[in-house]
Amino acid sequence: MRRMRLWVLGIGVMFGVFLALYLYQPPADNSYASRYLKENPTRFLQLGDYKIHYLVRGSGAPVILVHGGGTWLYSFRNNIPSLSEHFTVYALDMPGHGYTEYLGEPAFDLDTFAEVLDGFMMAMNLSSAALVGNSWGGGWALYFAEKHPEKVRGLVLIDSSGFVGRDHWEWEILKYPLLGEVLSKFVSRSWVEDSYRKDVFHDAGKVTDEIVSEVYKPLTFPRNRRAQYKIERGLDWKLTEAAMGSIKAPTLIIWGKQDKYVDVRSAERFRQNIRNSTVVVLDNCGHTPHEECPAAVNELIVEFVGGSKSASTGARNMTN
């Protein structure tokens, strides 16, 4: 009987602790003032219930940059200056990321992100554009191209999502109800640093304190904490995979050979499923080659977007 009471007491204590963690709302970390935002004037666009944070640079043909999960337009800091010498570059924080705000709670499914991209293009008076997306951002751009082929003149997928499968464990775990809600509240600066040094970048020496601080700060915003697990649960890659053969836009697939999030073999799988596509694998690059190996990625994008409207199919490897 005593053992039973202790067991019940233990269960009660555990439940109480878990409930306390579930209800806990950590404050945003405002101890770091973004150096990138100080040096790069950005804007806000009211788009329905969204207040979209974005940046525009350069002139010429429009190119829209779509960041991956857990980061923001800062992800393209090493690409915007170079690309804007050739194109009008638009980079935006997608809902649930960076400094974009919203009323209520979006569905955070593929249609949510496609609608935001569509509304953003209309607000910018863009009838069509080249889209560049990394990771989740590649999957969002892919779905947009499947739904609005007439609005995509070229598609660049960088270590992209889009096929059904399991995510990296630290994202996959967010799919579990209650557990994801709790864990999302305890994303720390040290976790971001560890993730970037061990998994995101191939060369940990390229990960600076500034990179960690710029990525970490928006992740502490309550709306972004909630969004991470809601997006993980809301993205149905069966939709993008099923419609991949309908892509009409010429497509460039760029992959980091040492990607620990999405295996490099996925690059060839994309090429086999998307007509008029080509693959370039960059050696000595991880999951975000546009950050880690920007010179090579910038050259590839400039050549692709500024070149002919049809891409040559095939695959090649490059050493960065």
Q: State the CATH number of the domain containing residue 204.
A: 3.40.50.1820
Would 1 be classed as within a structural domain?
no
Cα 106 to Cα 114: distance, rounded to the nearest angstrom: 12
pLDDT surpasses 80 at 118: yes
Task: Report whether pLDDT(107) > 60.
Answer: yes
Which is more confidently placed, 319 or 192? 192
Residue 10 inside a domain? The answer is: no
Query: Residue 20's pLDDT is what?
Result: 46
Give a yes or no: residue 145 inside a domain: yes
Residue 23 predicted with pLDDT over 90: no
pLDDT for 4 = 55
d(CA 114, CA 118) in angstroms, rounded, equals 6
pLDDT value at residue 320: 57
Summarize the confidence of residues 114-128 as an average pLDDT.
98
Average pLDDT, the chain: 89
In three-state secondary structure terms, 163 is: coil
Please say if the pLDDT value at position 284 is more than 80: yes
Q: Is the pLDDT of residue 21 over 50?
A: no
The sign one gets for the Cα dihedral 21, 25, 27, 28 is positive
Number of domains in the chain: 1
90 lies in a domain? Answer: yes
Report the Cα 281 to chain-centroid distance in Å: 19
Question: Average pLDDT for residues 275-287, to the nearest whole number?
Answer: 97
47 vs 14: which has the higher pLDDT: 47
The answer to whether residue 312 scores a pLDDT higher than 70 is: no
Please report which confidence band the pLDDT of residue 84 belongs to, taking 50, 70 and 90 as the band edges: very high
**25 domain-assigned:** no
Indicate whether 229 belongs to any domain: yes
Residue type present at position 245: G
Structural domain boundaries enclosing 284: 32-319
Helix axes 110-123, 136-147, angle to 10 degrees: 70
User: pLDDT value at position 183?
Assistant: 77
- Spatial neighbors of 198 by CB under 8 A, at least 6 apart, are 204, 260
User: Is residue 274 predicted with pLDDT exceeding 60?
Assistant: yes
pLDDT of 78 reads 98
Q: What stretch of H or E contains 15? A: helix 2-23
Task: Indicate if the alpha-carbon torsion angle 147, 148, 154, 159 is positive or negative.
Answer: negative
- Is there a domain that residue 248 lies in? yes
Residue % of the chain over a pLDDT of 70 = 85
**Taking 50 as the threshold, does the pLDDT of residue 15 lie above it?**
no
Candidates 319, 302, 300; CA nearest to 253 is 300
